[in-house]
Structure 1
Amino acid sequence: MNSSTYENYTEAIKAQYDEVKEGMYASFLLQPTPAQLRNLCVMLLDHGLSKADEGIFTLFFQVKEGENLRRSIENFDVEKFKAVKNFLTGKNTKTNPNSLNLIAVLVNFNSRPFSKFIQQGATVVKKTAMEVSIQEEESREIIKQEYFQENVILHQKKPKARSIAIGVGVIGLIVGSFGIKKEYFPDKECVQWNKDHYEEVVCEGSKIGFADVNPIIEGQESLLDFKKIEVSDTTTFFKNKQPVIWYCKQDGKCEYFNAPGLHPESGKTLKPISKYIIKKYVLQENKK
């Protein structure tokens, strides 16, 4: 059987995601939201795409001839990223070819797009990924069997009217409590930039976007770890030869952050620190 199938392509990309989700782009991939996935697309575009990847972006974002790709991404309906998010988080095990090719770019899966995967006769679906898939399927089957057995036992017993009334009362109390909580203690599902870090805020009734200063945006836990930091000649800028500090020039000065992403106020893509920037800006600032 030829392993260059769409199912193998799907499994290989999922295995690649599992490898890289805690890497350089962890703030986008570890706990992805539709907004963060769109931001990652903008950042990858700014860093430079191959012709093949530009083609993948053009198809996914439905860019018409003569339209600017970056503007098309920024104006793209963020809700359409839910399919991408659901695939990455395991909520859905399949997605359409255009979304899957885009995910291949986001996780830097080399054998992309699908046509290239077929041409290479890829046989790189990892054993570990297959074992996990088998174990998950077995777990689901066990859960279904246990659920069926429990329901058979419950239906064999004739519950007394008093027990039913108590059950209905408990359910009503839970639902009522949930409504009160949502009304008076709404969940803080969004974040807003405050000087040098993100803080949780309530989404409802707030404008979400990048147009305003310190806008309220869809949040995720990893954003709460994203911070603007001060650096000096004693700061650790690299680990295993990879940058761990990112920067952005604002009004002729560099601002530094502890993770990749977009500048929370200007929307500019943060760049990885380099020895040149350290020498020109960090060391020069320390001399003053």
Structure 2
Amino acid sequence: MPNNTPNDYKEAIRIKFEREKDDGIYSDYLSNPSQASLRDLCWRIFKSDIINSDDLAIYYNFFKFNFDPNNENTSTSYTDKFKKVGDFLKREKEPAKIDTVNLAGILVGFELRPYQKFNRSLRNEGKEPVNDSNNGEPSSDVEEIMRGCNLPQSDPDEKGEKNESGVDKNTELVLVQKKSEGAIAIYLFKSFIEKICYKFSKRVLRTISITVIIFLCGFLISHYAFPDKECMQWSGDHYEMVDCDLKIQGLVKSANIEILDPTLVHLKKIKVCDTTTYFDKNGVAIIWYAKTANGVDFFDAHGRHPENNSPLRPVTRYILNKYVRSETGK
């Protein structure tokens, strides 16, 4: 008999985690599965092309909102949700909901996810009977509606009994069930389309509103706060506001001068050491980094590297161990 209970599913994911944290492709994140590390790994996986509709559904069921590839969420409330995922993987606490286990399955690369897929796969290997509706397993919505309908069930011991029209009773019951299942399938499909359209329109409207607000704020800041100096220039470890007509020797404009960006103008490169505070009390990174030809540069805010335009990433314990503590330990 195949092992396909929820506890078996949890154990299979934990075993996968033990393998991946040592020599998997995401071992940098899983070797020390803190809330921030799991959050960064989640973002990296969902930004890739390997994600599917099942994973997107798992993401929605866990966070109660859809994944947005254009908005990397690093808020405290978002990061805190990964604590229960880490506790589950480290066997410190059993999750209350299967959604936590399903998300953990994505992070460790467990292929038979979500649990319904794991359960169905092992049932098929054991050659147990499988319901043909919805690829071998009826959805929870269908099951709930079917229970509410109280449809009559056929009795294999009543073979040969016929109704007044001369039709076998079991055959009649099967026809009634199939007709009801067809109506239910149409109802669920219509509900699914309506939900998708509503979420899509709401998401587009929200994105447009946020874009307009950011644009207006940037324009007002650049126009009123810096009326005379609308360009900036990187100067060692910070930006300086300069006149866009500033020229250097030979009457050639400096290549380092660029249009003022209110989101970057206050960015500063910092020197770090063992006493630097890298994370807040919730484990969220407050220092950002980017790799360079000479190693790693650290900054006090999110943005891009002013010299090579690489996107700044939140610092991780792996980066600290490799580039900071290894240097100070020499």
Normalising by the residue count of structure 1, what TM-score does the alignment of the two structures yield? Answer: 0.45
Larger radius of gyration: 2
Normalising by the residue count of structure 2, what TM-score does the alignment of the two structures yield? Answer: 0.40
Greater relative CO (CA pairs within 8 A, separation 6+):
1
